[in-house]
């Protein structure tokens, strides 16, 4: 658009163009500039803020791709304290308590980590007769989301 406008000015100086050509070229240039400014404003507003601090696990969109409404764009995991989710027999509810200590052995690291029960699930699975319990680690810097292992509650049952 800028080139067309400059060309119209040169032609008019050489008496080969009209004033109308210059005005039409100027109007087209101003319109294109306004559209570009509008696009810049939209692009400046394209910022995605995660609801919590974390790390990207999976990016489900590529550069210059338009996001689809309702489709996830990115998967993140929290950088906060790691939590362990355990499925235990519901019969253990007679002795398992929030705040109780246990150790968690992670298969991937081949290490055991001290932990405490932080909460007990709200319902027993009627088919498997199990319940979820959750624990927090005292320290487990090398435990990552998705790791698997086993918990040891022997101290609690004695």
Taking the domains of the chain in order of start, what are their residue ranges? 2-44, 50-79, 81-157
For 90-102, write each residue's pLDDT tens digit: 999 999 999 999 9
CATH class of this structure's domain 81-157: mainly beta
Give the chain's residues under pLDDT 70.
1, 3-9, 11-17, 155-158
CA distances from 22 to 4, 17, 25, 26, 118 (A): 9, 8, 5, 6, 75
* Residue 102: per-residue pLDDT: 93
Alpha helices in the chain (DSSP H): 2-13, 19-44, 154-157
* Residue 115: per-residue pLDDT: 93
Q: What is the pTM (predicted TM-score) of this model?
A: 0.59
* Residue 21: per-residue pLDDT: 72
């Amino acid at each position: 658009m800028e080139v067309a406008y400059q060309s119209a000015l040169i032609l008019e100086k050489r008496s080969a163009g009209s004033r109308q050509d210059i005005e039409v070229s100027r109007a087209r240039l101003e319109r294109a500039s306004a559209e570009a400014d509008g696009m810049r404003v939209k692009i400046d507003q394209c910022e995605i803020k995660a609801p919590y601090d974390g790390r990207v696990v999976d990016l489900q969109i590529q550069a210059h791709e338009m996001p689809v409404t309702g489709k996830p764009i990115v998967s993140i995991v929290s950088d906060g304290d790691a939590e362990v989710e355990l499925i235990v027999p519901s019969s253990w509810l007679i002795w398992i308590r929030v705040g109780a200590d246990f150790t968690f052995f992670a298969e991937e690291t081949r290490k055991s980590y001290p932990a405490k029960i932080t909460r007990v699930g709200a319902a027993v699975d009627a088919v498997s007769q199990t319940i979820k319990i959750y624990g927090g680690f005292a320290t487990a810097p090398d435990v990552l989301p998705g790791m698997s292992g086993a918990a040891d509650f022997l101290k609690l049952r004695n």
